[in-house]
Amino acid sequence: MKKHFLALHDFSKAELDAMFALTAELKQKQKNGVEHHLLKGKALAMIFEKSSTRTRISFEVGMFQLGGHPLFISNRDSQMGRGEPIKDTARVMARYCDGVMIRTFGQEIVEEFAQYSDVPVINGLTDLFHPCQIMADLFTVIEHKGGYQGLKYAWIGDGNNMANTWIEAAAIFGFDLTLACPEGYDPDAKVLEWARANGTSRIEVVRDPKVAAAGADVLNTDVWASMGQEQEQKTREKAFAGYQLDQQLLNLANPDAVVLHCLPAHRGEEISDEVIEGPNSVVWDEAENRLHIQKAIMATLMK
Ligand code: CP
Ligand code: NVA
């Protein structure tokens, strides 16, 4: 198995399915108070170059529950923020720690870090991918729908890091995905090309959110302006008008469809308050599952 968890495309369906199975086991143990110190005495460095609530807390608590020790390292007060090269930081950290989680901008940063790291590196979000989140999302779908196969998936909104990772997931796991994105906000062309070349799933990019939502079993959206795009907020609000996942759109989906949102959410923008608080929303389970899936990812790579 690949040493680092940088993108879903580095893993086979069987390897990822094994992580789901371990997630179920660890979640059960945690709920029943059964100790599972799979990473006893191990340390995880967590580097954040962008803000976080869920990722930081779930990795930190997850490492604690596995019997290990997490270290929060902000770009601002480490030497990385003062220009210490990535390749130097990576080699030094591997001398202290048993794993590193990074949240940063370019995917090339996590790739370079991994190239120089003797210990596993986990992608905690880049501009291109958010693999831990999509694993948590799929685990949530498994819990609510009994499996991820044979379902119709819809993405409504920006063709961002989340959308790109869903595209990879569709190809690997073999499900159909329709993404409704406004013109100019399509998912990454190379990611789409990879998915179409490496899977048999039907992956479509359309302009009309109604086309994506019609008959969907899983609906997913995300903020219109991701971290690092704050200055584009106003332009994006105009471009994404009509792309809100609201009750009218949800009514086109299967009645027992689940609604996902990785959070943080902007109610009244990409999702309505009615939908995120409504009976189809599973966003709190989804947020919780970040903890359980990441424990499985860490245990698999760092054991
Ligand atoms: N969904 C997610 O990654 O949340 P945070 O930005 O709070 O970590
Ligand atoms: N697309 C969002 C996800 C946040 C978890 C961002 O990159 O900011």
For the chain, the 3-state helix, strand and coil shares in percent, each to the nearest 5, are: 45, 15, 40
281 touches ligand 1 (CB under 6 Å): no
Task: Write out pLDDT tens, residues 48-87.
Answer: 999 999 999 999 999 999 999 999 999 888 999 999 999 9
* Residue bearing the CA closest to ligand 1, atom 7: 53
CA of 265 to the centre of ligand 1 (A): 10
What pLDDT, on a 0 to 100 scale, did the predictor assign at position 76? 87
Task: Write out pLDDT tens, residues 263-290.
Answer: 999 999 999 999 999 999 999 999 999 9
Average pLDDT value for residue range 32-54: 98
Asked whether 42 and 68 are in contact (CB, 8 A), the reply is: yes
For 261-284, the DSSP string reads E-S---BTTTB-HHHHTSTTB-HH
Pocket around ligand 2 at a 6 A CB cut-off: 125, 160-162, 222-223, 226-227, 262
Task: Write out pLDDT tens, residues 199-223.
Answer: 999 999 999 999 999 999 999 999 9
Q: Which residues, listed in sequence order, are joined to residue 150 by a DSSP beta bridge? A: none
Q: Which residues contact 62 (CB under 8 A, 6 or more apart)?
A: 70, 291, 292, 294, 295, 298
Percent pLDDT > 90 in the chain is: 99
CA of 229 to the centre of ligand 2 (A): 10
260 touches ligand 1 (CB under 6 Å): no
Classify residue 112 as exposed, middle or buried by CB count within 10 Å of its CB (0-12, 13-18, 19+).
Answer: middle
Task: Write out pLDDT tens, residues 6-35.
Answer: 999 999 999 999 999 999 999 999 999 999
53 annotated to a ligand binding site:
yes
What pLDDT, on a 0 to 100 scale, did the predictor assign at position 289? 99
What pLDDT, on a 0 to 100 scale, did the predictor assign at position 85? 97
Q: Which residues, listed in sequence order, are joined to residue 179 by a DSSP beta bridge? A: 155, 205
* Residue bearing the CA closest to ligand 2, atom 1: 226
**pTM higher than 0.95 for the full model?**
yes
Task: Write out pLDDT tens, residues 168-177.
Answer: 999 999 999 9
* CA atoms of 210 and 156, how far apart (whole Å): 9
* CA atoms of 57 and 72, how far apart (whole Å): 10
User: Phi/psi of residue 157, each to 5°?
Assistant: 125, -135
Q: Mind telling me the catalytic residues?
A: 103, 130, 133, 222, 262, 290
Averaged pLDDT score across all residues of the chain: 98
C-alpha distances out from residue 128 to 25, 64, 190, 246, 272, Å? 30, 29, 11, 26, 26
